[in-house]
Amino acid sequence: MRKRISLEVTHLLLALCYCLCHRTKLTVAAFVVNQTMKPLFPAVILFGDSIVDAGNNNNLKTLLKCNFPPYGKDFINHISTGRFSNGKIPGDFIASTLGVKELVPAYLSRKLADEDLLTGVSFASGSTGYDPITSLVASVISMEDQLKLFGEYKEKLKAVAGKARADSIISGSFYVVCAGSNDLVNTYFPTLFRKLHYDVPSYVHFLASKASDFVQKLYRMGARRIGFIGLPPVGCLPSQMTFSGDIFRECVEAQNEAALLYNSKISAEIKRLAANFKDSKLVYLDVYSILIDIIQRPSAYGFEVSDKGCCGTGEFEASILCNNKSPICSDDTKYIFWDSFHPTEKAYNTIVDKLLQNNLKDLI
């Protein structure tokens, strides 16, 4: 009884802090990191693509890697860990903001220690997607196989922590699911394979159905606090501006419209699932509105360049094309994008801060 009251008081204090923080426009990190109370979540566990891949692709036979300079140039000790950015990525910022730990490691990392399992890992794989073709062509970990790795992780967690504590960690952790961009920009729009069978609305429906299946399977495996990230404005990625051939480097409307259509469908589906999963907190996280505002009003967030990445020309380089022979910009804090696909550490920090300000209250 005493433990339950203590937990209720903790939640009440955090909710109060959130309200005060939000009203005074302070960041979520300002109150969460500095709090002395026990974190709300014992662990942060990540699924998805390169946005939350902390280095799983390092150990795969794929070209889609980034464990070499200049990736990681602003990371701790300037190490290229396999994170697709110049520094930390969203999973790291989520975990540190919530007071869980500073970095979320890749599950397949050869340096992963038993104690890392207790506070969460990333199963994400750069260039994967909900469409099975997406991961197959890129030779990366499919979303379905990420769930299999999660099942393996659960058994390892029991061996390390014991069944009771492991069950508590699994049910109490904060899960983040972030995928879908590669399905549009790598699988659907640039090729004919899927277009022969699907128009845009039907392909979006197919993706939303696959994403819903993933969430339902994750729930059945014990997840009870799930943040589902929608698609960003993929047509505004520097690579997509380049490939469209638009000399004015405008966002590609057809791709953004597809992303919005998907977000509309999957957000409604997440709401439906949340109503059915009475013992859970399942929340749709709208990243589109945040990133499109940053891109359209960069100076309001302290950025100057929104249509090119910092690495190379910034127009098409990513992964092996952004390497130690590539020139880089003089100040990446002025750039929204690090390479032609992925945001900079500063942009990720800004996005995560906004996401948690908007949604943390719905997850506790």
The residues that are catalytic are 50, 339, 342
Could you count the other beta carbons within 10 Å of the beta carbon of residue 267? 16
| Structure-derived torsion over alpha carbons of residues 69, 245, 199, 182, reported in degrees to the nearest 10 | 10
Instruction: Give me the residue label for tokens 């073709």.
Output: 133
Instruction: Give me the residue label for tokens 């520094």.
Output: 87
Could you count the other beta carbons within 10 Å of the beta carbon of residue 198? 16
The DSSP H or E segment spanning 140 is: none
The DSSP H or E segment spanning 100 is: none
Three-state DSSP at 207 gives: helix
Q: For Cα atoms 29, 32, 36, give the angle at the middle one, nearest 5 degrees.
A: 140
| Residue 299 buriedness (CB in 10 A; 0-12 / 13-18 / 19+) | exposed
